[in-house]
Amino acid sequence: DGNTPGTTEVDVTVTYPDGTKDHVKVPVTVGEEADNDAYDPKVEEVNKDHGTPTTEEDVTGAVTVPDYPSEKEQPVITVDNPDQ
């Protein structure tokens, strides 16, 4: 189905012009889904008092990736422009 990672064999029939046939199995390998397609980051709003600077940690701490497997290396969350 193209959605399940791994290798499976697909039965194929080759029909020649003279009507004879060969039956073969074609191995099809489906790779893992890319993490950015499989998971959606969630964000929480950052609220600060007037005059209180917002830190990179405030911003990165507001981003989570729910359901990301704990046994995998975790995503790195960075602020693209810390001066913003």
pLDDT (tens digit, 0 to 9) for every residue of the chain, 84 residues total? 788 999 999 999 999 999 999 999 999 999 999 999 999 999 999 999 999 999 999 999 999 999 999 999 999 999 998 887
Domains contained in the chain, number = 1
The alpha carbons of the chain give a radius of gyration, in whole angstroms, of 25
Give yes or no for a contact between 67 and 39, defined as CB atoms under 8 angstroms apart: yes
CB atoms within 10 A of CB 70: 5
pTM, to two decimals: 0.65
Residue type, 21: K
Confirm whether 45 is domain-assigned: yes
Give a yes or no: residue 25 inside a domain. yes
In a domain, 81, yes or no: no
